[in-house]
Structure 1
Amino acid sequence: MSGLTSPQATAALSTWLKYLEQLHTSAIDLGLDRVRKVAENADLIKPAPCVITVAGTNGKGSTCAMLEAILLAAGYKVGVYSSPHLVRYNERVRINNQELADSEHSQAFASVEAARGDVSLSLFEFGTLAALTLFKQHQVDVVVLEVGLGGRLDATNIVDHDVCVITSLAIDHVDWLGDNIDVIGYEKAGIFRGGKPAICGQPHPPATVPAHADDIGAELYQVGYQFDYQQQADCWHWQAGAFSLTDLPLPSLPLPNAATALMALSVTDLDISDKDIVEGLRNAHLPGRMQRVSEQPLIIMDVAHNPHSAQYFAAQLAKIKAQESKKNIHAVVAMLHDKDIAATIATLRDSVDYWYPASLQGPRAAVADEILVHLPTGCRGFDTPVLAFDQALTQADADDVVIVFGSFYTVGQITSHLKL
């Protein structure tokens, strides 16, 4: 867009973000030529000695968080890039599990602005390059990159990574990736590299995943074959070939992703002990993923926004209701209209006693009426997630559960409302 004046490096982060939103006409613009050109100019293709890239429909954030926690326990300096954020843009870049000051993000944006010349970049591409800039400036030992969308054409795929991970595969982002699971598998597998380890935590993935690994000569490690895990009552076991780890602590994040993270770390040259793994698994957490924020009533926030993640959420709720003698479940839900609202609601419908659907704002937002058509008769809609949440709290008893789910935007609004 012409006529825009680039902010100074000392400008407020909010000023930079507003500028970047106006700079490129599309919020999502898949393709690597433009962003790779800038990355090469700025020497960002290899931002750290070890880079692990994580793709997948669900589980990317929790896998990254467990990689991060284990690596920190082992004494490494770790940078993590993730998206989207819940409340603050700063959440997208962590160094040693800490957010950076607004001023560092502004300076990184200014650095990318200087390097891009006349190349047009989307906000996500700009943010990815700025994150790589920050990791390089801070001289981190390991970078963990969460893929934003798909894999093959995502901006993170310009990086020369050492290990790549697919956490799970399901149909999501239909407008961008389509509704064909074979195509989705191929897009995710686009992060594979010839001669380098590729970890797949999805049981029985579409044939396009192993086929692409074979085509390019990637070293595929598939759950159920090259590695596996078993859960017992209060611990779990992991093995890869003749190597095994037993009596591991159960993490607060999904166990399949923990197993996948361990496989990714095992194929690196990093020095990680069994003690580091145990400590990391105990410490790993991630806001908005089975996040308990109050006990009476129990309030749980989860960014589940598709049938696959809703299935996991429903299973966890069943355990909580049985083990903690909880009575009714009150669900605050708001979603984006390009998600599979019907199937997501259907997955949780039998788990929920009372529904509080709400509208989100923005071009991709669904209004409450779009959710109401999939709910039992007698439910009412709310203009915002906050209004729905406040009503749920009014209705819930001390031994009930209030859940908030459906989108990062939904959980983010309640996070701000509760001043967490």
Structure 2
Amino acid sequence: MSRTLTEWLNYIEKLHAKPIDLGLERMREMISRLGIRFECPVITVAGTNGKGSTCAFIESVCRAAGLRTAMHTSPHLLRFNERALLDGREVDDRLLTAAFAEVEAARGGMTLSYFEYTGLGILKVFQNARPDVVILEIGLGGRLDAMNAIDPDCSVVAAVGIDHTAFLGSTREAIGLEKAHIFRQGRPAVCSDPEPPVTLVDHAHRIGAKLMLINRDFRAAPQPDGSFDFTCGEVHWQLPRPGLAGSNQYRNVAGALAALVALKERLPVTEAAAAAGVARARITARFECVTTDPCPTLIDVGHNPQAAAVLAENLAHFARPGERTLAVFGMLTDKDREAVVRLTAPAVDHWFYAGLPGPRGGSAEELAERMRAAGVPDKSMTAASGVAEALAAARREALRLMREEGAPVRIIVFGSFVTVGEALEVLAAEGVRR
């Protein structure tokens, strides 16, 4: 009996008790059983923050160069299909369900985690598509992530910060070492973090990877008009403003371009293609303005202190004179909520906050306690029963401020993929976003 994609995902989710079960032995065995292999270059991207943007830049530049692309990212916001793109388009349900059927037939009695099972299906879809390049985002860490079972031709580690401490460790050095395990002996290993952990550098040297560091081996120098000069070895390109907003994107685009330069013999990319791809790059919810009704409304999936610092910087940099900023906010309980609020509070005038669903979601009351601990006064906080209500309340307040005070106003929705996903569902129902 055939299953729909939703039925398959429900079935897969129930197969294993733990949503995260790290280990590569099962993954490698299943890759062998399914005969998954790629003749084209594979680029694997890890990082606490910036990995999704780095993938988006690589994919966009490759498509501008006329290359056929396959890209995996996670998690998704609205549809599972967002995790698998072929030439920039979400993979059709039919291809995914057929691939899941192959995984089911091959696994026998082997128990697979959700990430392993779905990752194998996506890899099978990519193999069947015969692309010119495969781009794989690491979902968690690096060393034991399911996608690290595929040996990359080039690896990129973007920013290294503190997150997922229960799995990766509580210091940048410990987390950096986990991420460095996506590097491979004798192959390009790019790091676009301007302060790479010593453990990452040492591991790259120990295994004999060809380490490339930002501001040493490659760099992106922004110009006053937003364009930038990219340098990597003998490559000197003058490129337009990146299509993704935020000063952090110059680091991400530099890492993406360095990876492509390192693979230039197999992935020929010209300066013209780099310019077009950099400018066209798009990714959902990375300081993205999704609507101007009733005011500019930004969404950002940042959910850890490092991402919060970048968000605060971007909010300050792009603020209009006298602008009020209203936050629609929700965070999971296993994240450093107090630090995130403390970092972003100087840029926020009023908070509309909500608890999130699921065992990690927590209540609005618990979140309010952390916000108070971070220094947010009660008068600057409004509780909501959910993200949709918080967004509606922020919109009403924006209209009031614009009508009664004539002040420019913007809304920022952030704190979690869950928060942004629920806001996008509201916008999708209004026809603002698909």
Specify the TM-score bucket, using the shorter chain as the normaliser. over 0.9
AA matched with 1:280: G
The question of whether the paired residues in 2 share the 8 Å contact of 1:289 and 1:301 is answered with: yes
Moved more, 190-199 or 175-184: 175-184
Tell me, yes or no, if structure 1 residue 257 matches structure 2 residue 252: yes
Pick from 30, 36, 51: which aligns with 2:22?
30
Deviation at 1:413, TM superposition (A): 0.6
Residue-by-residue CA offset, 1:114-172 (whole Å, 9 max, x unaligned): 11122111111111111110001111111000001000000001102100000010010
Matched with 2:238 is: 246
Query: Which residue of structure 2 aligns with residue 386 of structure 1?
Result: 388
1:401 aligns with 2:392: no
CA–CA distance in structure 2, aligned partners of residues 85 and 326 of structure 1: 35
Name the amino acid aligned to 1:113: E
Q: Cα distance, 1:176 vs. partner?
A: 1.4
Which amino acid is the alignment partner of residue 287 of structure 2?
M
Q: 1:14-55 deviations in whole A, cap 9, x for unaligned?
A: 1101101110111000110011100111111x3341100000
- Alpha-carbon separation, structure 2, partners of 1:410 and 1:47: 36
Distance 2:275 2:233 in 1: 20
The answer on 1:278 being equivalent to 2:275 is yes
Cα deviations by residue, 1:374-396 (Å, 9 ceiling, x for unpaired): 23223232221111010000001
Gapped regions of structure 2 (runs ≥ 5)? 403-407
Given candidates 46, 58, 63, the residue that maps to 1:55 is 46
Q: Which moved more, 1:224-233 or 1:156-165?
A: 224-233
3-state SS of paired residue (1:118): coil
Aligned residue runs from structure 1 range 223-238, under 5 A: 223-234=214-225, 235-238=227-230
Alignment match of 1:341 (pick from 332, 337, 344): 337
Alignment of structure 1 residues 243-392 onto 2, 5 Å: 243-253=235-245, 254-268=249-263, 269=265, 270-295=267-292, 296-322=294-320, 325=321, 327-373=323-369, 374=371, 375-378=376-379, 379-392=381-394
Query: CA RMSD, aligned part only?
Result: 1.2
Structure 1 CA distance for aligned equivalents of residues 221 and 389 of structure 2: 42
Q: How far apart, in 1, do the equivalents of 2:131 and 2:228 lie?
A: 31
Which residue is equivalent to 2:107? 116
> Is the CA contact (8 Å cut-off) linking 1:334 and 1:366 kept in structure 2?
no
Q: Could you tell me how far apart the structure 2 residues matched to 1:98 and 1:347 are?
A: 36
Secondary structure, aligned partner of 1:380? strand
Measured at CA, do residues 142 and 242 of structure 1 come closer, stay the same or move farther in structure 2, by a change above 3 Å?
A: closer
Offset of residue 250 of structure 1: 3.3
1:247 positional shift: 4.4
> 2:158, 2:255 within 8 Å by CA — same for their partners in 1?
yes
Q: 1:41 aligns with which of 33, 37, 47?
A: 33
> For residues 28 and 198 of structure 2, what CA distance do their matches in structure 1 show?
29
Task: State which of 64, 76, 86 in structure 1 corresponds to 2:77.
Answer: 86
Alignment of 1:152-167 (within 5 A): 152-167=143-158
Q: Structure 1 residues 326 and 21 mapped into 2: Cα distance closer, same or farther (>3 Å)?
A: farther
Deviation at 1:329, TM superposition (A): 0.3
For residue 106 of structure 1, the aligned residue among 97, 103, 107 is 97
Structure 1 counterpart of 2:163, from 155, 158, 172 = 172
Structure 1: segments with no counterpart, 5+ residues: 1-7
Amino acid at match of 1:346: R
What do residues 322-353 of structure 1 show as CA deviations (whole Å, max 9, x unaligned)?
A: 3xx46210000111111110110111001000
- For 2:74 and 2:385, how far apart are their aligned partners in 1? 26
**% identity of equivalent residues:** 39
Q: State the 1:367 CA deviation.
A: 2.1
The answer to whether the 8 A contact 1:112-1:129 is kept is: yes
Task: Tell me the residue number matched to 2:405.
Answer: none
1:217 has 2:208 as partner: yes
**8 Å Cα contact 1:48-1:135 kept in structure 2:** no
Q: Secondary structure at the match of 2:385?
A: coil
Letter in 2 for 1:73: A
Q: Does the residue aligned with 2:358 lie in a helix, a strand or coil?
A: coil
3-state secondary structure, aligned to 1:305: coil
Paired AA for residue 309 in structure 1 = A
Q: Partners of 1:242 and 1:414 in 2: how far apart?
A: 45
Are 2:156 and 2:259, in contact at CA under 8 Å, matched by a contact in 1?
yes
1:21 aligned to which of 3, 13, 17? 13
Query: Following the alignment from structure 1 to structure 2, what is the Cα–Cα distance between the partners of residues 131 and 48?
Result: 16
Q: TM-score, normalised by structure 2?
A: 0.92
Is the CA contact 1:38–1:119 (under 8 Å) kept in the aligned structure 2?
no
